[in-house]
Amino acid sequence: MSEVIEYRGEKIPVGWYREQYAGFKNEDGSPYFTPEKLEVEVQKKVLQRKKDIGRFTGARFDKNQGYRLTFYLREHQLFPKAFETKIEDHQATLIVRKLLRHFGKKYAAKSLRVRFRGNKQSGAVGWGIRLSHNPSIGLICHEVAHIFHRRHDKKLMRVMGRMIAYCEKKGYAS
């Protein structure tokens, strides 16, 4: 059962998905999926995998922010040093405030909340920024840039690049 589909240079292991779903059992030991339902689930999984591959290769899959995952990949390629440099939480809070003040959001520098949540997803909303513990300079600049621009596009990349350059100039990323 080594059936494999090649899609945009990536291999999708259809046979492996089929074996996994066939292994699901009910409490009494009977198969969880009927043969028809099994094929439907496998096809759903294959379509989801194709969608994921399309996200990384830059295909337009979504009306809003269709290139988001490609954006993350691109920023790591453009600013590798910034994403490797980890700093402490207290220092991260100070850098957020300094970036906001320097780039023209002085009111936000005073009132914006900076919170840390384990190694969960980071994010920015109008009232606060959520970062993982010991964030990188690149992550901080990415989330602060969202205060200025919401979408993952060239403008956000430009704002983020200016912030990373500022951090390097001030010696935060060293």
How many Å apart are CA 114 and CA 94, to the nearest integer? 10
Helices (H) then strands (E): counts for the chain: 8, 5
Residue-wise pLDDT for 28-64, tens only, equals 989 888 989 989 988 888 888 887 776 655 545 444 4
CATH superfamily of 68-170: Metalloproteases ("zincins"), catalytic domain (3.30.2010.10)
pLDDT value, residue 151: 83
DSSP 24: -
pLDDT tens for residues 60-106? Answer: 544 444 456 678 888 888 999 999 999 999 999 999 999 999 998 87
CB neighbours of 110 closer than 8 A, spacing ≥ 6? none
- At 61 the pLDDT is 46
**Torsion of Cα atoms, 150 then 156 then 162 then 163, to 10°:** 40
Compute the distance between CA of residue 29 and CA of residue 149 in angstroms, rounded to an integer: 53
pLDDT of residue 171: 92
CB 104 within 8 A of CB 58: no
Q: For residues 51 and 170, what is the distance between their CA atoms, to the nearest angstrom?
A: 41
Distance CA 172, CA 81 (A): 12
Domain ranges for the chain: 5-57, 68-170
CA distances from 156 to 117, 142, 150 (A): 24, 8, 8
